[in-house]
Amino acid sequence: MGAEHPECPERLTAIGDQLIAAGLDVHVTRHEAPAATREQLSRVHDAAYVEAIEQAAPASGLRYLDPDTALNPHSVEAALHAAGAVVSAVDLVCAGKHQTAFCAVRPPGHHAESRRAMGFCVFNNVAVGAAHALAVHGLSRVAIVDFDVHHGNGTEEMFSDDPRVLMVSTFQYPLYPYSGVDNPAPNMVNIPLSAGSGGAAFRDAVLGHWLPALDAHRPELLLVSAGFDAHRDDPLAGLEFTEHDFAWVTRELMAVARRHAAGRIVSSLEGGYALSALGRSAAAHVRELIAA
């Protein structure tokens, strides 16, 4: 996204390093991410938007899609593979080859709307995966869990009032993108948290709001928009979570998945911009995902 941009390649290096440091790398199976197809993307994105993005990569330099979101000559390919990673993970998990999967991808996705790139996001990776699970694997109920510090406005826009998809989220409010507090759709369980909220407030929201909604919905697959920018070290926001909170919520989600979804969870990286905290948080998340 350009020099000095927080959504930088070193984010994935930091996660990879911490998986090694935590001794987890030997316990994960790595898969290459195929590019998402136009058909897969068009389940949640406007077809004309997909075509426009496919043509939008600059020959050199940067092209800005919004003030925060830029393409370099390779970004469209990366975005196609980021969405394709979640599709592939859904295929692997639904086929029983793995019970859980984590997609270490960039760019992130949850701000991308059906016809708009924004907030570092081009394609809505988790939404593409959820739509794929419904369309191809015959599932009738999925849940999307979003604990990124920013509200997942794109995912909300795509699935509001779709009874097949329950979205539960927490996010700092007020904060970019300033949405999520006025949606009456019954399938959207949005819990805004004020600046300075820590793990205790997060756990209260999960126990009091997310888990009852998830148990009522009985999802056959959980998808996670795993943003780690609610960490206290993160420079882009003001919540006070630690990696222990991310480990805790992952354990709770694993229990939900065991109750309703044969243990199936597909998680995909969203935000997280303090490199050390991001690496530790993602490793804590993966450690719980592979404890199945």
Would you name the residues annotated as active-site residues? 111
Residue type, 219: P
Phi, psi at residue 157, to the nearest 5°?
-60, -40
Task: Report, in Å, the least distance between residue 227 CB and Zn ion.
Answer: 4
Chain-centroid distance of CA 126 in Å reads 6
| Backbone φ/ψ region at 101: left (φ over 0), alpha (ψ -120 to 50), beta | beta
Query: Which residue of this chain has its Cβ atom nearest to Zn ion in the complex?
Result: 271
Rounded to whole angstroms, what are the CA distances from 173 to 150, 176, 177, 197, 272? 8, 8, 9, 10, 17
Nearer to Zn ion, 42 or 271 (CB): 271
Task: Report, in Å, the least distance between residue 96 CB and Zn ion.
Answer: 32
Task: Report, in Å, the least distance between residue 65 CB and Zn ion.
Answer: 17
Task: Report, in Å, the least distance between residue 121 CB and Zn ion.
Answer: 9
Task: Report, in Å, the least distance between residue 279 CB and Zn ion.
Answer: 16
Nearer to Zn ion, 171 or 248 (CB): 171
Residues that bind Zn ion (CB under 5 A): 148, 150, 227, 229, 271
3-class SS of residue 255: helix
Nearer to Zn ion, 228 or 261 (CB): 228
Q: How far apart are CA 15 and CA 66, in angstroms?
A: 27
Task: Report, in Å, the least distance between residue 67 CB and Zn ion.
Answer: 16
b/e for 115-125, b at 16 or more Cβ within 10 A? Answer: ebbbbbbbbbb
Q: Copy the structure tokens of residue 216.
A: 């009522």
Cis bond upstream, residue 107 (ω within 30): yes
Are 203 and 250 in contact by the 8 Å Cβ rule? The answer is no
For the chain, the maximum distance between any two Cα atoms, rounded to a whole number of angstroms, is 50
- Looking at the DSSP bridge assignments, the partners of residue 113 are 116
Nearer to Zn ion, 91 or 270 (CB): 270
Matching residue, tokens 């700092």: 172
